[in-house]
Amino acid sequence: MLEIQNTLVSLDLIERFFCCDLDKCLGECCIEGDAGAPITEDERRQIEAILPEIFDDLSPAAQREIRENGVAYIDQEGDLVTSIIDGRNCVFTCFEPGGMCHCAIERAYRQGRINFYKPISCHLYPVRLKEYADFTAVNLHRWKICRCAEALGRKLGLRAYQFLKEPLIRRFGQQWYDELSQTAEEYLRQYPDGITPN
């Protein structure tokens, strides 16, 4: 682990190569799993505020779920997460021809229709955060559906922390990211293969 300000960062974020390969995975992280995307109470309020703008973009099943149960719920681990349908799909997932899925919130943002990008947990993925009293743990979630992203990252020579620069700055700030980047470069000069001595 690396200590960056008030965070502990997993070495996986530095050592692992990563670059989303949507042509191969088709955005499967939006539809796989047994719970929705983690969100904060503030993000729930923001989603509820922009809901009228994106509601017509959602599937009939997603619209019905939101009408009946809202945009979020508390999962089995006690976390607030986005609502899902069919036990897996985030209600904000939309599909394009060929099976590619995308986030209705992000699409509306990119079209200039709303000013909320998407939940930070989605923007950060595959990084997962765990909040503790004195620090935040920054971990890299490894999942079989992201093997193509690891392969593409290796091909491009792109480390996970580099690929995730924008969301990491969004969450922790430019100064934090600059410190992380400098620490990562020093670490990789010392351990270019990502192997530390026992």
Higher-confidence position of 151 and 98? 151
What whole-number distance in Å separates Cα of residue 100 and Cα of residue 161? Answer: 25
pLDDT at site 30: 64
pLDDT tens for 81-103 read 999 998 878 999 988 877 778 89
Higher-confidence position of 43 and 141? 43
Per-residue DSSP letter, 17: B
Our CA dihedral for 64, 87, 71, 106, rounded to 10 degrees, sits at: -100
Strands (DSSP E) contained in the chain are: 2-4, 7-9, 72-74, 80-82, 84-85, 89-90, 93-95, 101-103, 127-131, 136-140
